Structure 1
Amino acid sequence: MNTVLKAGTPPLRGRSAEVSALREALRSPRRPGSLHMSFEGAPGMGKSRLLAEAGAVAEASGAEVIRGLHGSHGVFDRPLVVLLDDTHRSDTADARALAALRPSTANVPVVWCTGRRCGSPSSPLESALESVAVSRRSFRLGALDDRAAQEMVGDLLGARPDAALARAAASLSGHPRALRAFAEGLMEEGRVEVGAAACLTRPGIPERLGDLVRRYVQDCSRPCATMLLVASTLGMHLIFGELAEILGAKPSCLLPDLQEAVFSGLLSQDGDDVKFANEPFRDIIRGMVPAAARAAIREQADHYRARQFEEAFAGSPGFPGNAAPGPAAVLLRTPPTHRTAGGVVLSGPCRGPEPAGVPADRRAPAVASVFAPRAADTAPGVPAGPRCAESAGSGAAAIPGWERLTEKQVAAAELAVEGMTNKEIAARLHLSPHTVNYHLRKIFRALSIRSRTELIRLVHAASPAAGLRPAREGLFPGGAA
């Protein structure tokens, strides 16, 4: 792969630590020996771009730069920087080329800069480098922070993004190649107007971004791709038992596919919480699944969640066959055809009916929630009751301990189940991340659980439609179906 910086290449954003390390390596005492600097990351994290930057920094410092191992090389008389990309794909021929180059570098300092995909096994070339380098420094390239992501989009568009465009860029979770595809796609499709600021004029997922994500999925093994397609239909977070049930596989058999998807950058893992890297990625992958297949997968998931709910609360008051009918009985009597369509209610305090005569397009918009079915989706003969998360028809209201939560805690739990981070929840509720963390601890204690993943699993079990994507307007409305 070509690692030469082209004329007009935008500046490298968000990699100051790696570039500083490169500069420091080139300022080291000029004595013979080798330093191996390895840049590792998921596809699209900017490894090739960083290698190109390394070449530019090296040439500016007076070092000699070679890109690749094959070809004729003379004897070097000044510091040398060797750029090797995708070393995880190298073979024995590359290892032999390295052995042939070594005599020419015996009397000069050498910095080997390599890029590789994380999670890949060591290649013959990488094993040979282990014996060549005197020391090694490894860098794991992660996502860009929000500021670097906005700067990168601004560089590509030629103007600072406005608030709406900045939010859309932030939803891509700092993925460098996705940000580039997003910005270039906006320009190609005329979705952005560039003046004093870059303004998003027509929301939606650019086709260039969709093509990139679909290519990532196609590069995965077939079992991993199948798992991603099914998981995208069920929700942002992966519920392991549910996924294994639908795929008809033992949970242990899914581990390699799960690991591959995380290494590919399509999923992210934080402790025991595994979810899609970001909502646009999930939307695009979900759009690869035909509508009929999505409906069949969701129906299968509904049956699984209903069984989980029955097993979890079989001994609770109000469960069918126990003392008095309650919310659990209401939920379990709901036919699957009704449960499949449920999952959207008004969030927050209960609201009465709109005043008569108010046009439909002027009424207050409904905010999506996964905690209760719509009134139209309740079982025949069961009163709908007030349309709020605490209503008798609510799946969440059937969870033991839910009634002890405050309104703010209910809101925090709802956003956590949607897949938001503490920082995102804090911004939505106008709290500090520390306060959100405090509320989540109180929620976990009240519900007798220990983690966010258990909260998601509990709510999904209590509300069979919870895995459906909330019907709220996102940053990319009109995007993938």
Structure 2
Amino acid sequence: MSIGGLRGREHELHRLATYFDDVRQRESPPILVVEGVTGIGKSRLLLEAVNLAKQHNLTVRRSVAEFWESSTPGAPQHAPPFSHRSLLVLDDEPTEPGIEIRTLRQVLKNAEFTPPPGVLLAQNGAAQDPIGDRISDELGVSQDRLQLAPLRGDAARAVVQDLIGVPAQQGLLDAVSCAGGNPRLIVELVEGLMEEERVGAAGDLLRTTPRRLPRRVRTAVNLHLARLSDESVQLLRVGTILGRSFQLSQAAAMLQRSVAALLPPLNETVTSGLLAFTDEGLTFEQPLVWRAVYESIPETVRAALHLDARHITSGSSAPTDDLVTLGREEITRRRWPSKTDETSGALRTLLATGYVESAVLLVRTALNGDMPEHEKPLLSRLAADIIMATRHSPAALSEDGAIKSTPDMLAQAQAQLDEPEPANAGEANPDTQRAAALAVSSLDWAAGYAKESTRWGRAAVDVAVTPEMTPTRPYPHLVLAHKMIVLDDLHEASKLVQQAREDLTAHDAAIFTPVINLIEAYSLIRSGDFEAADQQARAGLESAEHIGLSAYISWAEAVLALVALRCRDHQEAARHLGRCRELDGMVHTSSFFYTVRRQWLDLLLHELRNEIREAEGLLATSHSHLPAMRPLLLEEPGAAAWFVRFSRTADNPELADRTLRAVEQLAVDNPGITAVSLAASHARSLFECDPEGLAQAAAEHQDHWARACATHDLETLLKERQVDSREFVRTRGIITVRDSVGSMRAVDPEIRPDAHEIHDVLGPAERTIAEFVSQGLTNRQVAQRVHLSPHTVNYHLRRIFRKLGVRSRTELARYFHTR
């Protein structure tokens, strides 16, 4: 529940209440400056602050002039009497700040006005020479700042519900994401959509044509532009042609001006909150503003500017006219970062440049901080990588044979990295090289970038091994072997495991023999040989129990639980998972390898037992991160389809939508990796009830379980449509149209959509790509036109073929030209 009618500002109101207590109690209270870009809600927060200050028995003045009148002899009789403490609230910057500061100083010097008041001031966070700094300097008082951030998901959702009176559907929420969390833009967009009757009674977004922004949004943005200089408006309009992000030098070239000449308008646009500096250059803060400025340019002028832009950059792109697509792109682009996101970025930079010691210190600091439990395993894994890549892998074990806790391992890693290097100190330290390569590989894998991860993994394998490093030589080979199994390259995985076997010595066999057993068991699970997998996992369990390696015992129990789940033996699976939970309380570090994720196994067990409510509860609480967890979607090619299938059972469309976004972005980020693209295609085909896509997944999945799931999904769909599976093999052209998740209507396979129906069957990006392909353009040429990669174009094209029931580019062209 929000406080005082505000949404998502509970923390800020608490800060204000604390400040008002300071005003009442401290001899010289500081100035509190509320900062934020235009439209972020500074004025609304100050209105609430006035009411809150009165509850704290403060006398509130809303201007320096009012303060002056109230504090001088002969003040008007109607002026409120002073309490023992007062507060001056300044919303907008004064037109003549120098005069007001002098007046305020005279007020504070007035002997009758003691003790001094508190000052609450709102100002633009990017303002040059801000008024708050000048007041602080002139009056000699300290200054605190309260920065207003954009509204996050739940708060934005609550604002929309307040406006429309009912819970918003996902399509409308996607459109609202275009506002980038700016409260004023959210209100303008939603009220504009309502005025134009584009919001349904159930809180859904009605997609109408033409797909222009609501008039109210365009008017609000145009009023904002009217307050800027002509040079700033020109910079913004040229920027919209260059793309959401662009370089200042590109804008200068289009405007035929020097970069230095653009610095004043650049400062004005950044100060106003329309542009921001990023690693990519300059970026429009909100996609809604990007689109609105683009629409403010006459169409003929836009066409001419696009021609000019092609001479400067090949990466320019126009904002899509579909609010839902634009919003989904914003969600992907501006995912609210977790603490691990920031830490991971810093770690990757340190490791990739060889600063392993600094990376270890950063990991130790992060793990000692306040971090969600599900984000800690990655950092624990990095600790394992670093200690196992250095010269003494047995140092990872305590005296009783158990794996040391993560803090102990990090301390050991730090000590080893601080040891003097061998005599040939002029050469690169192989310990450091391997530690860095392995840790970066882990970071990239956790982020869902498989190619980069395996590239760094091979770099770790290729590091020349010194005699001191012999005990740890098998480790990089086994880590990479596990990843190659995930990527369906069983041949390379087998070679890596064999090399690891050959490198084993009597000294390190105790550590790595159970690892080899469990990796081979995982490979057998994916191929469907569950009996052999069970034997290998039990051999690994026996080896781990013999030497008391608790982490490996837990890993082996998880693998055995997975085997039982694949064989649909829920009692055996529950027994092994129960053992995992017991060990979780004793093991304080993650395994050295990417193991079966127990939380994922929890969901599979509940589903096997038909305990839908229990699984729903987990997905709403402790397991809520799983549907968008990129490593899980990467390692389990059937996981995305499972979440879509479960969303149908639980009547939770949002779960399917969140999963599809994550897995399709994963496919885009991993071009050429068949397992990932098939996982995305399988999930989308299941969501849209597309038999062609399900048939492809059933035929091409290399993972046994994913292939069996796709086959079952196809058979279920055909049974619902009363289509004989043998007849489907011959016709392979059934077209389906999605009404909603789990509710589909079949279309006669001989009747394809008419031209006016294409708008409903294909999305905006698909329609554009289909039109270009029908004109004879290659995938690469289309990619240049729509500013996507050829791989992404090919991904869309396969879906277009299935939706329209065509089998070739020629047939697609004929289809369009006959309409």
**TM over 0.5, shorter chain:** yes
What letter corresponds to residue 143 of structure 2 in structure 1?
R
| 1:405-420 → structure 2 map (5 Å cutoff) | none
1:293 aligns with 2:290: no
1:19 aligns with 2:16: no
Distance 1:394 1:170 in 2: 26
Distance 1:372 1:357 in 2: 19
Deviation at 1:366? 6.3
Equivalent residue number for residue 54 of structure 1: 49
Measured against aligned partners, the alpha-carbon deviations of 1:77-125 in whole angstroms (never above 9, x if no partner) come to 4221110112364433312321232126753352210011233333678
| 1:339-418 → structure 2 map (5 Å cutoff) | 358-361=752-755, 365=762, 368=765, 374-375=772-773, 384=777, 387-388=778-779, 391=780, 395=784
Secondary structure of the 1:33 match is coil
Distance 1:371 1:247 in 2: 31
Measured against aligned partners, the alpha-carbon deviations of 1:252-282 in whole angstroms (never above 9, x if no partner) come to 3323323322221222333344222232212
Secondary structure of the 1:37 match is strand
Deviation at 1:232? 1.5
Question: Which residue of 80, 96, 117 maps to 2:124?
Answer: 117
CA 1:372/1:187 → structure 2, altered by over 3 Å: closer, same or farther? closer
Equivalent residue number for residue 449 of structure 1: none
Maintained 8 Å contact 1:80/1:109: yes
Maintained 8 Å contact 1:87/1:126: no
1:159 aligns with 2:166: yes
CA 1:106/1:133 → structure 2, altered by over 3 Å: closer, same or farther? farther
What letter corresponds to residue 25 of structure 1 in structure 2?
Y
Equivalent residue number for residue 274 of structure 1: 282
Equivalent residue number for residue 344 of structure 1: none
1:138 aligns with 2:133: no
CA 1:31/1:119 → structure 2, altered by over 3 Å: closer, same or farther? closer
Deviation at 1:229? 1.2
Question: Please, which moves more after superposition, 255-264 or 279-288?
Answer: 255-264
Measured against aligned partners, the alpha-carbon deviations of 1:298-329 in whole angstroms (never above 9, x if no partner) come to 11122334799xxxxxxxxxxxxxxxxxxxxx
Equivalent residue number for residue 258 of structure 1: 266
1:150 aligns with 2:157: yes
Distance 1:262 1:410 in 2: 38
CA 1:41/1:293 → structure 2, altered by over 3 Å: closer, same or farther? same
CA 1:66/1:306 → structure 2, altered by over 3 Å: closer, same or farther? closer
1:80 aligns with 2:86: yes
Maintained 8 Å contact 1:88/1:122: no
Measured against aligned partners, the alpha-carbon deviations of 1:112-162 in whole angstroms (never above 9, x if no partner) come to 100112333336785234343632111232321122112122223333322
Question: Please, which moves more after superposition, 241-250 or 179-188?
Answer: 179-188
Deviation at 1:251? 2.4
Structure with more relative contact order (C-alpha pairs < 8 Å, separation 6 or more): 1
Secondary structure of the 1:284 match is helix
Maintained 8 Å contact 2:32/2:145: yes
Deviation at 1:178? 0.9
Question: Which residue of 201, 205, 226 maps to 1:200?
Answer: 205
**TM-score scaled to structure 1, two decimals?**
0.62
Maintained 8 Å contact 1:82/1:111: yes
Deviation at 1:296? 1.0
Distance 2:138 2:795 in 1: 56
Distance 1:191 1:255 in 2: 40
Equivalent residue number for residue 25 of structure 2: 30
Measured against aligned partners, the alpha-carbon deviations of 1:353-379 in whole angstroms (never above 9, x if no partner) come to 99986344466526638999934667x
Measured against aligned partners, the alpha-carbon deviations of 1:174-231 in whole angstroms (never above 9, x if no partner) come to 111111222332343333345xx53434655322221111111121221110011122
Distance 2:164 2:794 in 1: 40
Maintained 8 Å contact 1:42/1:117: yes
Larger Rg: 2
Measured against aligned partners, the alpha-carbon deviations of 1:386-437 in whole angstroms (never above 9, x if no partner) come to x54xx587659xx9xx99xxx689979xxxxxxxxxxxxxxxxxxxxxxxxx
Maintained 8 Å contact 1:89/1:123: no
Equivalent residue number for residue 435 of structure 1: none
What letter corresponds to residue 368 of structure 1 in structure 2?
A
Tell me which protein shows more helix as a share of its residues: 2
Distance 1:411 1:250 in 2: 41
Maintained 8 Å contact 2:269/2:275: yes
Maintained 8 Å contact 2:248/2:282: no
Equivalent residue number for residue 180 of structure 1: 187
Distance 1:272 1:375 in 2: 31
Distance 1:280 1:306 in 2: 23
After superposition, the CA RMSD in angstroms is: 4.0
Equivalent residue number for residue 283 of structure 1: 291
Distance 1:213 1:392 in 2: 35
CA 1:188/1:393 → structure 2, altered by over 3 Å: closer, same or farther? closer
Equivalent residue number for residue 191 of structure 1: 198
Secondary structure of the 1:200 match is coil
Maintained 8 Å contact 1:82/1:110: yes
1:249 aligns with 2:246: no
Deviation at 1:38? 0.3
Distance 1:395 1:264 in 2: 33
CA 1:31/1:10 → structure 2, altered by over 3 Å: closer, same or farther? closer
Deviation at 1:67? 0.9
Maintained 8 Å contact 1:33/1:109: yes
What letter corresponds to residue 66 of structure 1 in structure 2?
R
Distance 2:297 2:793 in 1: 35
What letter corresponds to residue 182 of structure 2 in structure 1?
H
Q: Which residues of structure 2 form unaligned runs of 5+?
A: 72-80, 317-676, 682-692, 694-732, 736-748, 797-819
Distance 1:304 1:143 in 2: 33
Identity of aligned residues (%): 25
Question: Please, which moves more after superposition, 13-22 or 232-241?
Answer: 232-241
Distance 1:186 1:303 in 2: 37
Maintained 8 Å contact 1:373/1:394: no
Distance 1:306 1:269 in 2: 21
Equivalent residue number for residue 453 of structure 2: none
Tell me which protein shows more strand as a share of its residues: 1
What letter corresponds to residue 288 of structure 1 in structure 2?
S
Aligned length: 349
CA 1:190/1:26 → structure 2, altered by over 3 Å: closer, same or farther? same
Distance 2:70 2:292 in 1: 46
Question: Please, which moves more after superposition, 266-275 or 121-130?
Answer: 121-130
**TM-score scaled to structure 2, two decimals?**
0.38
Equivalent residue number for residue 233 of structure 2: 225
